[in-house]
Homo-oligomer: A and B are copies of this chain.
Amino acid sequence: MNPVDPAGIDTPIGYVDLERVRANAQRVADYAAQHGIAWRPHIKTHKSLEVARIQLEAGARGLTVATLREAEVMATLTNDLLLAYPPVGDAKLERLVRLPMSLDLKVALDSSDVLESVAAASAAADRVIGILVEQDVGLGRVGVQSSAEVVRLASLASSLDGVEFAGLMFYPGHIRVQEDEQTEALALVFEQLTDTYAALESAGFTAGIVSGGSTPTLWQSHAFPGLTEIRSGSCIFFDREGLALGVASHDDLAYTVLATVVSTAVPGHAVVDSGSKALAKESRGDGGFGVLFDHPGVLLESLSEEHGVLDLSQTDWRPVIGERVRIVPNHVCVSVNLQEALLAKDRDAHSMLTLEGRGRGPWTG
């Protein structure tokens, strides 16, 4: 990687601390290893080969992706890939079965429609794709609604050429509170999982893989009964959400958006050149769209497309035009997705980090 001078870099631009990235990766990999579970990080957070390489070197068993672009890019790094999203339509199916034959490829889905089309495409390409049946454990977004439906799709997968039943996937994304307030919601998830294992066993199936967990429940993952792997993605960078939930501390924050103060004309405020097109306008119940890394009391109180307005009412700090600040976004994944590249810091050296998995094209299979 060619060195760059950060002082000469224009803003806004995503800024990554690679030492922290390595530390975050190692901590999650060590935690997973300690509890005998695997870590298959969701690379939607970073979409970068370099960061995925760090995760794999730290001990990640494979990678999780959401898009075909991400799959194509990450298949160059690992032989163990989970597409955690139902591929619907010919364009996606064609790209799916064109992934390297050497890949241990798994797809998560929640319907016989998608299962049958994946099986047909896979069989026609003379390959076998592992099927994880996704079960809804409370989020109400996707996932079959009962253990009986899990068994039904497992049976269908077993009866079709081109696919094999590989296990269960769940995502407890409805649990977004601090660890000590998670007990009751977690117990309900545990109950559903246990019920599903029993139903599968009765029907003669084994859920080889149980892929679950989330970032808010990250350090409780070992308590999920039967869990074999976690997919947590944002734990590689963390964000304001992770801080608020107590799953990360300020020292773990590895991603910020580097911005420049461009206006101080309105009293009590300063305006930076980083708006919703660099941070994403994701609101939180407690207000604001981000905080300053070096002034955690300074809230990004509003966002236009290219303007971010800092609330200076709770600080004595008075920025001047041209001053640079680093913003911790509410949600890191969608902010990274808005960058064409990241400025990466590694000890005292800086370089540009490309995001090879970003985007969706080509749009035709």
Q: A interface vs B, CB < 8 Å?
A: 4, 8-13, 44, 66-68, 85-86, 88-92, 110-111, 113-114, 136, 140-145, 149, 173, 260-267, 269, 271, 273, 276-277, 280-283, 302, 304-307, 309, 320-322, 333-334, 337-338, 340-341, 343, 352, 359-365
4 A-B pairs with least C-beta separation: A10-B91, A113-B321, A142-B263, A110-B265
Judge whether A305 and B261 touch: CB under 8 Å.
no
Residue from A9, A149, A265 having most chain B Cβ neighbours under 10 A:
A265
Residues of B near A309 (CB, < 8 A) are 141
Residues of B near A173 (CB, < 8 A) are 304
Complex Cα spacing A337 to B86, Å: 25
Residue from A271, A280, A341 having most chain B Cβ neighbours under 10 A:
A280
Judge whether B111 and A321 touch: CB under 8 Å.
yes
Judge whether B88 and A273 touch: CB under 8 Å.
yes
Complex Cα spacing A277 to B144, Å: 24
Judge whether B91 and A9 touch: CB under 8 Å.
yes
Judge whether A113 and B322 touch: CB under 8 Å.
yes
6 residue pairs A–B, Cβ–Cβ below 8 Å: A10-B68, A44-B305, A114-B262, A143-B266, A305-B333, A338-B338
Residues of B near A113 (CB, < 8 A) are 320-322
Copies in the complex: 2
Contacting residue for A265 out of B12, B111, B306, B321, CB 8 A: B111
Residues of B near A143 (CB, < 8 A) are 263, 265-266
Complex Cα spacing A90 to B74, Å: 37
With both beta carbons as reference points, the residue of chain B lying nearest to A135 in the complex is identified as: B265
Judge whether B307 and A142 touch: CB under 8 Å.
yes
CB distance from A199 to the nearest CB of B (A): 17
Complex Cα spacing A254 to B156, Å: 43
Judge whether A13 and B360 touch: CB under 8 Å.
yes
Residues of B near A320 (CB, < 8 A) are 113
Contacting residue for A66 out of B68, B110, B302, B306, CB 8 A: B306
Judge whether B136 and A265 touch: CB under 8 Å.
yes
Contacting residue for A307 out of B91, B141, B283, CB 8 A: B141
Residues of B near A277 (CB, < 8 A) are 334, 337
Residues of B near A10 (CB, < 8 A) are 68, 89, 91-92, 360, 362-365
Judge whether B111 and A263 touch: CB under 8 Å.
yes
CB distance from A333 to the nearest CB of B (A): 6
Residue from A173, A309, A334 having most chain B Cβ neighbours under 10 A:
A334
Judge whether A12 and B364 touch: CB under 8 Å.
no
CB distance from A224 to the nearest CB of B (A): 21
Judge whether B266 and A141 touch: CB under 8 Å.
yes
CB distance from A156 to the nearest CB of B (A): 14
Residues of B near A260 (CB, < 8 A) are 88-89
Complex Cα spacing A143 to B333, Å: 32
